[in-house]
Chain A
Amino acid sequence: MTNAEAARRLGLDCLCPGEEREVSGGYAGDLLSWVMGRAGRDCAWITIMSNVNVAAVAVMAEASMVILAEGVKPDPELLRRAELEGIALYSSPLNAYELSWRLHEALL
C-alpha cells in the first residue's frame, strides 16, 4: 500500500503529498528519540507533535508518512520542511488509537 493509498483509506487530510512510498507498518509516539530508536523503516508515524523537528525525525527514521493526530496543525516551518524533503504529511481529527486500528485494518 502506498502512502497516498493509506491516506485515502484512513480518510486523512493532505498537508503535503510528499514522495510516493510504501507503507509497511505503523508507529505512534511523541517522544522523538523513542521514535528514532524504535519506529520501523517505511512506517506511518502517528504523532501529536507539530514542530519542525518532526521533519528531521521522519527523514532520519525513514518513515514513509507522518500523520498528525487529533486535528493538530503543523507549524509553518514543519510544513515548509516537509515540502523541501518530500515528506508525506497528513492530518486527522482522530486520535492515535483510532488511527492505529484503521491503519492496521488497511494493512491486512
Chain B
Amino acid sequence: MPEVRLSYDIDGDDFSSAGEASVAMKKALRQMGIEPETIRRCSVCMYEGEMNAVIHAGGGRAEVLVSPERIKITIEDDGPGIADVEAAMREGYSTAPPRVRELGFGAGMGLPNMKRCSDELDIETAAGRGTKITMIVRL
C-alpha cells in the first residue's frame, strides 16, 4: 500500500459541523480496510484534536498520513497556544468556557485520551503562536 494522505479543514465558528473531519477520516480508514481497533484509536485522537481546535483555537487543519507501518495524525491551528502543556495534559484540567461545557465538553479528558490512544504524542505550542499536535498510531 502506498502512503495515503487525507487533508481536512476544521471550521472554527460552526459548532453544528463540529466532528465532521473526524467522521470523514473514520469512513476513509474503514474503506482502506484498516482494522477496527486501530480505527477506534485514531478516531479518539482525531476527534479530541478536532474539537480542541474548534473550541480552544477557532479552527485549524488536520492531515492524516496512512502508511503500511503507521497512521500519523497532525492537527494544527493558529489559536492562542497552550501556555502550560504539563497542566493541560492532566486529567480534569480545562479552560473551556461555560457555553461549551453546557454542550458536554470541558471534562479535561481530551489530551489524556489522545495520549492513551496514540503510541506517540508530540505537542508543539507557545502562547500566542498556535498549536501543532502530532500523533502516531502504529499498525
**Interface residues, chain A, with chain B CB atoms under 8 Å away:** 30-34, 36-37, 41, 49, 51-57, 59-62, 77, 85
Contacts and interface: CB of A to CB of B under 8 A. Distances in A.
A68 B67 CA distance: 39
Given A37-B109, A61-B43, 9 more contacts: A30-B104, A31-B106, A33-B113, A36-B113, A37-B113, A37-B116, A52-B18, A53-B104, A59-B26
Contacts of A51: 103-104
B40 A56 contact: no
B106 to A, nearest CB: 8
Contacts, number: 73
B103 A49 contact: yes
Interface residues of B, number: 28
Contacts of B22: 56, 60
Task: Decide if the interface of chain B is mainly helix, strand, loop or mixed.
Answer: helix
Contacts of A56: 18-20, 22-23, 47
A32 B23 contact: no
A32 B105 contact: yes
6 contacts: A32-B104, A33-B109, A37-B113, A51-B103, A56-B19, A59-B19
A93 to B, nearest CB: 21
B104 A60 contact: no
A32 B55 CA distance: 13
Contact of A60 (B16, B26, B36, B108): B26
B47 A57 contact: yes
Given A60-B26, A85-B23, A53 B103 contact: yes
Task: List the 4 shortest-distance A-B pairs measured between CB atoms, nearest first.
Answer: A56-B19, A33-B109, A31-B107, A37-B113
Interface string B33-62: 000100010011011100100000000000
Contacts of B116: 37
A77 B80 CA distance: 29
Nearest to A52: B16
Contacts of B107: 31-34
A59 B51 CA distance: 15
A61 to B, nearest CB: 8
A14 to B, nearest CB: 23
